[in-house]
Structures are given as structure tokens and as C-alpha cells.
Structure 1
Amino acid sequence: MIKLALKDWYTAHTQNLPSRIESLKGRLSALDQKGEEENLSEAELVELHGVMSDIHSLSRLNASICW
């Protein structure tokens, strides 16, 4: 039972990493563009840092899987 649950978790969290990374890069680009035009709100700055962190984490995970 635990093995099946772990397998399901692994599949859910590692499938389609490149598209998840690209989606985050799109959001990062949108926030970056908005930041060039006007000041970002505190919530947007927090989101920006979170998106950057998520991209880094997912990229490392994807690299370790592909290795």
C-alpha cells in the first residue's frame, strides 16, 4: 500500500516537468514585464520570488531525473 502511494506521488510530481517549468517561466516573464512598467505590489514580489524558487527546484529535479 505504501509502495503504491509512493509510486502515485512520484508520478504526479515528476510527470511533465518541462511543461510545468515553461508555465512558470511564462508567469515570471509576465511579472518581469509588469515590473518594468510599474512597481510590483508586495504580493507580486512574493509571487516573483516563489516562481523563481519553483523554477530552480523543478529544473534541478528534472536534471537529476534526466541524468
Structure 2
Amino acid sequence: MRLHWIITLQWPADDGLHTKTMDGTIEPNAGATRQAIYSDAYEFAAQHMGAKDAAVLSFILEPDEL
């Protein structure tokens, strides 16, 4: 089953706080945990946003199909 994730991060920068939201889909392996998906989404988003020491403001994980 494919899952859709949405994560919003906030982190300090020289010009104040930055806040960004990113989303994507994942087809987890059998036995995958919500924690593992959260960690993967956090690392992916933080790297792509250039966010160091980011706080998570929101994390949503739901089935992708309606």
C-alpha cells in the first residue's frame, strides 16, 4: 500500500526562522514502522530544505488512495 506523507519543518537561520512543508509518497516494505517512515521523511526533507536542527511542526501519514 502506498502512503502519502506531509512534513513541516522550522529551523533557525541568520535572517530568522524558516518554515517549509514538503510531501511525498512511499511504498513501505513489509514490517515497516511509522517511526521509520517518519525518520526517513524527516531526513529527506531536512536535506532538501537545507534545514539544520529543524523542529517538526507537523507530520501526517495516510494511505495515498482515496
Instruction: Give TM-score scaled by structure 1 length.
Output: 0.30
More contact order relative to length (CA 8 Å, sep ≥ 6):
2
Q: Which is higher, the Rg of structure 1 or of structure 2?
A: 1
Higher helix proportion: 1
Instruction: Give TM-score scaled by structure 2 length.
Output: 0.30
Higher strand proportion: 2
